[in-house]
Amino acid sequence: MKVSIRIFGNLVTILGRKQVIELDEGTTVGTLSNRLAESAGLRRQGYLGNYKVGGDDLAILVNGRNIHLLDGVETVLKDGDEVVILPPTAGG
């Protein structure tokens, strides 16, 4: 199955802005984040950069819905899903 990923903020320099990834059926958001981290050379599982996946400081949306309103990092992805990763913004 293919999942589209859009990344924003300072994570763009680490992970890139947009990508389409081929995943196995039943892949969860947690597994996807570990795969993204690994492909970017990051060694800390459960984190993207300095942000804890599933924590309060990183918003992850699947088809426009925050994973906190779904099954968190255990949210199962489906073919054609769009995952958006939003770190907190700075500035003002």
User: Could you tell me the pLDDT band of residue 5, with boundaries at 50, 70 and 90?
Assistant: very high
Tell me how far apart the alpha carbons of residues 64 and 66 are, in angstroms, rounded to a whole number: 7
Cα 9 to chain centroid distance, Å, stands at 13
pLDDT tens per residue across span 17-46: 999 999 999 999 999 999 999 999 998 888
Q: What percent of the chain has pLDDT over 90?
A: 82
pLDDT exceeds cutoff 80 at 90: no
**pLDDT tens digits for range 69-84:** 999 999 999 999 999 9
Please check whether residue 57 is in contact with residue 45, taking contact to mean a CB–CB distance below 8 angstroms. no
3-state secondary structure of 11: helix
